[in-house]
């Protein structure tokens, strides 16, 4: 048990079996004809970006974490789990990035619409990959058009989500599913 009194699993084999199952489910959701892009899942009104909760729910991405003692009708409900981005290439949706979050709705919005490099980290990573001159210090000054373009590309990515309650499992699944699906934009290099 760790300092938070969270037990370690007895064996890890079941987690790998479960990761393979979740990877298949996410891939099926990503490639489903009714799947949606990040841009479709959020509505823009001026500078305000709102989650289209009806569309999220229709896709089965319903809130599973409630902030407060009951479901909050004002929309503060969240989704804890895995999210997968896919890109359509030659008529096939290819998984390119897997992430995890206790607040996945918020995290998805940040990826596509965030104002800072650490919020839109996938867009920043892609921009930096294509232009080695880009850095955290200059992305918002010298390369703001590059950053804006890459955020637009992230908005066009197709999204799939899968709920995971247990924190240990969630962290394990991120690495395992990235390896199973061979996602291009995941890296596990430490800071």
**Structure-token match 């850095």, residue found:** 135
**147 pLDDT exceeds 80?**
yes
As a whole number, mean pLDDT of residues 13-18 equals 94
Q: Tell me, yes or no, whether 58 lies in a domain.
A: yes
Residue 186 lies in a domain: no
In the chain, the percentage of residues whose pLDDT exceeds 70 is 94
Region 155-170 average pLDDT: 96
| Residue 165 lies inside a defined structural domain of this protein | yes
Tally Cβ neighbours within 10 Å of residue 170.
Answer: 17
Model pLDDT for residues 65-112, shown as the tens digit of each residue: 866 555 555 545 899 999 999 999 999 999 999 999 999 999 999 999
Please state, in angstroms and rounded to a whole number, the distance separating the CA atoms of residues 138 and 4.
Answer: 40
Its domain, for residue 35, covers 13-181
128 belongs to a structural domain: yes
How many domains, in total, are found in the chain?
1
The reply to whether 101 falls in a domain is: yes
- The full DSSP string for 76-119 is --B--EEEEEEEEETTEEEEEEEEEESSHHHHHHHHHH-SSTTT
Q: What is the pLDDT of residue 47?
A: 85
Does any domain span residue 121?
Answer: yes
Nearest to 84 by CA among 187, 185, 189: 185
- pTM of the full predicted structure? 0.90
**Of residues 69 and 149, which shows the higher confidence score?**
149
Q: Is residue 158 assigned to a domain? A: yes
Shortest CA distance to 124 belongs to which of 142, 99, 149? 149
């Amino acid at each position: 048990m760790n300092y938070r009194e969270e037990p370690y699993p007895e064996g890890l084999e079941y987690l790998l079996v479960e990761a393979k199952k979740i990877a298949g489910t996410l891939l099926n959701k990503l490639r489903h004809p009714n799947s949606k892009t990040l841009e479709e899942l959020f509505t823009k009104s001026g500078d305000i970006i709102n989650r289209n909760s009806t569309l999220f729910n229709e896709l089965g991405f319903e809130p599973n974490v409630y902030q407060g003692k009951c479901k909050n009708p004002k929309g503060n409900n969240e989704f804890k789990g895995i999210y997968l981005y896919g890109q359509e290439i030659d008529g096939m949706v290819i998984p390119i990035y897997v992430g995890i979050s206790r607040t996945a709705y918020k995290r998805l919005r940040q990826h596509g619409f965030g104002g800072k490099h650490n919020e839109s980290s996938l867009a920043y990573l892609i921009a930096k990959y294509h232009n080695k001159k880009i850095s955290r210090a200059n992305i918002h000054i010298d390369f703001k058009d590059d950053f804006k373009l890459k955020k637009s590309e992230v908005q066009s990515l197709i999204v799939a989500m899968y709920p995971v309650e247990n924190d240990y499992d969630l962290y394990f699944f991120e690495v395992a599913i990235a390896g199973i699906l061979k996602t291009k934009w995941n890296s596990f290099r430490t800071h």
